[in-house]
Chain A
Amino acid sequence: MEIIMIVLAGILFGFAVYNILQKQLLRIIIGTALLSHAAHLFILTMGKLKRGAAPILTEGTENYTDPLPQALILTSIVISFGVTSLLLVLAYRAVKTNGTDNMEELRGNEHD
């Protein structure tokens, strides 16, 4: 199971990077969203996938799930959700003001 998850995360990383390297702004944003998904899946897998009891510390609990990766992912999901929505608004404003969503044309020059 871990192998499948790792491969999936790898594929997501690949797609994310491919999308980030595009010229269209919206594709880049989709790329960053995919990148965060990939990173989150990766954390989940790195904490070992297993099923078992809730992580409550009592005597004799042997098979429990590690709560830490889940806590990390939750935090990270909230952050990347916020950043993605901010990025969407920012991109909208930038496109409105600059009149283009092509990164080549958003390159700018030395003198402004």
Chain B
Amino acid sequence: MTNLAILPILIPFLAGILLAFTHNRIQLTRRLAMVFALIHLIAMGFLLFKVLLDGSIVLEAGDWIAPYGIILVLDPLSTLLVLTSSIILLAVVWYAPASVSEEQEGFYFYTFVFLLVTGVSGAFVTGDLFNLFVFFEVLLMASYALITHGGKKVQLRESIKYVLINLFSSMLFVTAVSYIYAVLGTVNMAQLAERAAATDQPGIITTVAILLFFVFATKGAAFPLYYWMPHSYIVPNPVVSALFGALLTKVGVYSLIRTFTLIFHQQPEIIDQLFLWVGNLTMLFGVIGALASRNIKLIVAYNIIPAIGFMLVGIGIFNHDGLSGSIYYLLQDMIVKAALFLLAGTIAAVAGTADINKMGGMIRSHPVLGWMFFLAGLVLAGVPPFSGFIGKLLLVRGAFEKGETVTVIIMLLTSLLILLSIVRAFIRIFWGEGETATQQTRHSTRRLIPVGFLMLFTVFLGVGAEAILPTVQQIADYLLNPQEYIDLVLKGGR
């Protein structure tokens, strides 16, 4: 049964290849894409059920036992994230026909979407640091194709910056991996954790850790390395933006959570402070960017950054509540960011412009769209019944436990400013006099169904927190105790 661990990679990969063959029959491709996304979602749901019930699944590829071969690990954390990404995949594939032109869909659009998800799932399940780099490249390659998909002038201009910054950080990743290999003599994460814990030179490991932090922080858009992100995320089609905003930066955050809880926690006084302060500054600067923008897509894109800050702070707090908060926030943010990007895309398509100063009074013609956007804004800001609140509550509790009062103040201030930025956009777009010229209204219902599907999950994550929270807290305990992961992976290798 260990072969099940390959499924998160295999299903989207095969789907992507099959969809390449049907690319010039658009209707068939759309239906097949929906079917594959649904299969992926069901399979991942089954895997999560199985992992929670029977324990984690470890696949040693080609029967090469753990520290020597490449391993894939389905533990509760990676399975939960793979499941969340499959939810987003389904919503995105559902929304795509309303937004992407038929001509563009014909240019292997769905193939790239599925290959992107292949890379993302691979990055979540791999148990090998170098393999993580390989899957990063898989997802980046697909993202390069998607960000230029359509070939508009502005897309090509921004994509060069996007490709360059990612290429640079990938090469730094390789360099960091080779440092680690020189110091610890392995790239298997479990063995790295074991050897790092036993080493008598924590200084050099912390140095490498900071290099690796730089790499993942660039991918995850943390302060001061987020400058490339907002403008390049708004140029492609809203579907692609949603996919990027929900998945790509979060893979960086996942890598940080995984490597820094497992391997690089040798000198907590340095690492924790680094995370806390980078997190604090990320929250503040991100939300300032959101407040300064007048473009609805840019407001949403800038709002990714404070969310990353919240998760980093959670890692920096490094106690039970902090880590559970981080993971909870990660899960809910993936879904709500996808929903917000799709909503922003719908608003921009309906209004014919993305500038919020040129819109107004849209609540009269598009009430559902308006209230959905409002709801998503509340979720994002963490207003009580919704999912953002649970994550923030856990983070605040964890920070108080650790005595980090400044961080708590910054977190609460940031939440307030996030609310301000979203509500201000809401008021500008939906209230007031004057009707924005409404184009393409025929598509707006078709666009709202997938968004509603995502909103359902965010509301459930908030109202039904009782159902998910125990699992998340269990994962936090598991992350705080790296020995469990080491034993899980290296059981046969000794």
Spell out A's residues near B (CB within 8 Å): 20, 25, 28, 32, 35-36, 38-40, 42-43, 46-47, 68-69, 72, 75-76, 79-80, 82-83, 86-87, 90-91, 93-94, 97-98, 106, 108, 110-112
Contacts and interface: CB of A to CB of B under 8 A. Distances in A.
Nearest to A41: B178
Interface in B124-142: 130, 133-134, 137, 140-141
A75 to B, nearest CB: 6
A36 B163 CA distance: 14
B181 interface: yes
B130 A90 contact: no
Interface stretch (B146-154, B237-245, B308-316, B405-413): B146-154
B134 A75 contact: yes
Interface in B150-190: 151, 153-154, 156-161, 163-164, 167-168, 170-171, 174-175, 177-179, 181-182, 187
29 contacts: A32-B164, A35-B167, A35-B171, A38-B171, A39-B175, A46-B178, A47-B178, A47-B181, A68-B181, A72-B130, A75-B130, A76-B174, A79-B134, A82-B141, A83-B144, A83-B163, A83-B167, A87-B163, A90-B148, A91-B160, A93-B148, A93-B151, A94-B157, A94-B159, A94-B160, A98-B153, A106-B157, A108-B154, A108-B231
B326 interface: no
B295 interface: yes
Contacts of A69: 178, 181
A43 B181 contact: yes
Contact of A20 (B140, B164, B174, B231): B164
Contact of B160 (A75, A76, A106, A110): A106
Among A28, A87, A90, chain B packs the most CB atoms within 10 A around the CB of: A90
Contacts of B179: 46
Interface in B241-285: none
Contact of A90 (B163, B177, B181, B355): B163
A93 B149 CA distance: 12
Contacts of B164: 20, 28, 32, 87
A106 B164 CA distance: 14
3 closest cross-chain pairs (CB), A and B = A46-B182, A94-B156, A43-B178
A25 B170 CA distance: 19
Taking each of A28, A32, A42, A94, which has the highest tally of chain B beta carbons within 10 Å of its own beta carbon? A94
Contacts of A106: 157, 160-161
A80 B141 contact: no
Contacts of A42: 174-175, 178
A79 B182 contact: no
Contact of B174 (A43, A68, A87, A98): A43
Contact of B158 (A36, A87, A108): A108
